[in-house]
Structure formats: structure tokens, C-alpha cells
Amino acid sequence: MSDNEKYELYSRGFCPFTQMVRVAFNFKEIPYTFTRWSPSDPEPEWLAQASPDNTVPVLRLLDGSFTNSSVKMIALAEEKGSGPTLYPNEFAAEWEATLRTELVPSFLKVLMAANPKIQAEFRPKLTSILKKITDHLEKSNGKYFFGDSYSVIDVICSPLLHRLPLIQYFRGPNFSNPVLATYISSLETHPAFQSIQWPLASIRSALIMMLPKMRPMSAGRLQHIAIRAHFAKVIELNKALVATESKEEAIDLSRELTRRVETLVLFIEQHAAFEEQVVYPVFEEMSPGSTTTAHDEHVHDEQVLASAKRDFPAAQREVENAEDKVIKAKEAFGKLLPGLEKWNKAMTEHMAGEEKDLFPMTEKLGEREIGVFRKIYYHCVSVREVLLPFVMEFLSPQERMQYMNNISEAVFESDFEQWQLCGKYLAKSLPKAELADLVERLPKLAKAL
């Protein structure tokens, strides 16, 4: 076959389906040329006809026609190529169908979806198919899915499982295990994949720029995550304080617990205030009566917040002034624990109600959304230095990125000084390694530091 008779494969970015095709072509020794467009490259006019849905890869066949189906390209490799078959037994086609319907969609949804609900929906599905793969590998003898026979299953798995660490980086959960790790190592060192694999760091950098971000009002969900985490922390500290037998620990824990409760109260007060003054009026305009329950709960919470602001500092002072600080800590803070747990339960139910009934309304704000969020941002300006570290402390790295991206949507272009202040607050509160990680995930943050 002459150079003019080679298949022509085209793609853009770091497409895993393109990698599947290249692995199959390499394994089956299909002669082809490969062209990869960068984001700045002009794409040819023929692409619109060759790939009406604008997906890649695209393959120009020997007769000049095109296909943008990676499934057909792999089938072509099996039909036209040389060497061992990609279907070494009667189970290969069945497993191929399973991977295409279970592994491919769940993997891509968990990694690529901006909506946390979609990620959550597909996480169990990804866990399930990876367990199926792991169970099969444990029974298989050899380096690959079907023992020593390289197959279409390995072709499909190679680019996806190679990206498994990126799910942990962007989404948190670690889906790997020792069996999968050994299998992935075998896939990555197979010549068909090794010669065309992209460094994970390069794929990660590309995904940082291209992964879709959540809408600005998603900050509410992130704030709820922070509130839940801080409640868990103060309850943990309160229990430790009641259980301690150390004078020094009683003093330290009482101070830390009181500081955290006071900050938690401040945040919940601010959170309720901007909801009442900024968000709920908009929701009421959209759907009269929709915020009545949440408003009534806010009114009830005012007494709870006032009690917390009064009782925890008072208990701390009692410990500080007591002769037997351990006994006083058990007594003073022991009385507060049931109320703290009751408060946590009430707040959990309140937030769940908002997430069920009110959060979906943010999706209907349209062009008004950024304006509403900007008002929320400025409502909290006076306490931002305290509350920004509070929110960020227990968020995952990617959630931190999303929260700061939301803020950037509100102020980066319109009020850069505010963006710089946020950078200053983060630089003071985050460890250097965590700040560097956040800058890597959100490069525009570097301009605020």
C-alpha cells in the first residue's frame, strides 16, 4: 500500500475515542496518517460534512468517504488489518458491548459532567462496571483482559483507565485498586498504546481549561457543604472536650470550639440575611409562597443563633476561670452538646428543603443569575476575610476551584480589586501547597496573588 493509500485519521484535543482507534490501528498494523488540530488551528471546510455532529475522530477512507464512528473504525481495523484478532474468543463481542454501554458513559459522566447530581448518579454505575472488570481480571491469568491475548477490550480500556487518576484529581473518589493498577500498567506498556499515549499532566492541563463549570448560584450548594462539614467538626470538638482528662487540652479545645461556633453562627447569619434580602424576593416573584417555609425556619433560627453566640463564649470563660478546668469543661460544654446536635439536625433539614424546593429555581433565573449572585457577593464583603476561609476549609480541591470561579464571575472583570482581596485572604489562610493546587485548577487566581 502506497502513502497515498493510507487511511487519514483526524482529531482534536485529547480525545479518548481517537486513542482507541489509534491503538486498534497500531495493533492491527493499519497504515494511516494522523492529524491532530490544536484549539487555535483552523479546521478544514470538509469537516462539517465529514462529521455533521462535529465529533472526532474522523477517518477518511481509501475511497475518499468519511466516517466519524470510532466503533466502525475499530471494526475496520479488525477486518482490514493483519496479525492476531481483536476478538480472541466468543466472549469478546459481549464484553465490548458491556464496556460501551456501562464503562464509557459512566466514566465520561463522572469525569466531565459539571452537575454534581449527574456525577453522583453515575458514580455507582462506574463503581459497578469497574468491579465487574476487577472480578474478571482476578480470574484471568495473564497481563490483559483475556489473559495473554490482547483484545478489543484492552483497546477500549487503555485510554479510559489511563485517565482514572484524573477522576480522583477532579472529582475526589479513587476508583482504582491493586488489580486494576496492575492491569493499567500492562495496558500502558503495550506497544500499541505506549507509542501514542499522552502524558496525564497534559490531559489534566487541557481539562482544567475545558471542563464545564457550574453556574454562579451553585455557590449555595457549596456553602451548604461547608456548613455541614463545620457542624460535624464542632460536634466532634465538643465530644472531645467532654471526654478529655487533660487540663491543657480542655483549655485548647474550649477555645477552638468557641471560635468555630462563633464563625459558624456568623456565616449562618450572613447566609440567611442574603437569602432573605436578595434571593427570596426573586424566588417570590417567580413563584409566590415558595419561600414561606424557609423564611419561617430562619425566624425560628434567630433564637438558636443568639443562644449559641451567648452560651459557648460563656462556657469557655467558665473553663478559663475554673480551678478544675477538666471538670468544668465536662459540665459546661456537656450541657451544650445536646442543643448543638439538635441545631445541626434542624439546619440539615432546612438545607435539604432548600436544595429540594428552592435550588431548582436558580436554573430558571437565566440572565438574571449573575446579577443576583453579584448582589450576594457584595452583601458579605464586610466579613469576607473571615468567611471565605471558613467556606474553603472543608471543600474538596475541585469544589474550591468552583467556588472561586463563581466569585470570579461576579468580580474579576467588573471589580478586580475585590478579586485581589480574595486572593489576599486565601494566601493568608491556605497552606502554600493547597494554594498552589488551587491556582493550577483556576489559573486566573494567579492574577490576584
Query: What pLDDT digit, counting tens, does each position of 72-84 carry?
Result: 999 999 999 999 9
Query: What pLDDT digit, counting tens, does each position of 329-345 carry?
Result: 999 999 999 999 999 99
- The residue among 417, 426, 376 whose CA lies nearest residue 397 is 426
* pTM (two decimals): 0.89
Query: What pLDDT digit, counting tens, does each position of 153-182 carry?
Result: 999 999 999 999 999 999 999 999 999 999
**Residue 4: pLDDT band by 50, 70, 90 thresholds?**
low
| Burial class of residue 266 (count of CB atoms within 10 Å of its CB; 0-12, 13-18, 19+) | middle
Question: Is a pLDDT exceeding 80 seen at residue 1?
Answer: no
| Mean pLDDT on 283-304 | 96
Phi/psi at 347 (nearest 5 deg)? Answer: -65, -40
Give the residues across from 67 on adjacent strands: 59
Place of cell 466514566: 107
What is the pLDDT at residue 67?
A: 97
For 436, other C-beta atoms within 10 Å of its C-beta total 12
Rounded Cα–Cα distance for residues 13 and 203 (Å): 9
DSSP letter (8 states) at residue 83: S
Query: What pLDDT digit, counting tens, does each position of 400-444 carry?
Result: 999 999 999 999 999 999 999 999 999 999 999 999 999 999 999
> From residue 13, how far is each of 23, 73, 135, 191, 301 by CA, in Å?
17, 19, 33, 22, 51
H/E stretch holding 307 reads helix 292-321
| Burial class of residue 276 (count of CB atoms within 10 Å of its CB; 0-12, 13-18, 19+) | middle
| Mean pLDDT on 306-324 | 96
Dihedral (CA of 272, 274, 280, 283) sign: negative
CB 158 within 8 A of CB 188: yes
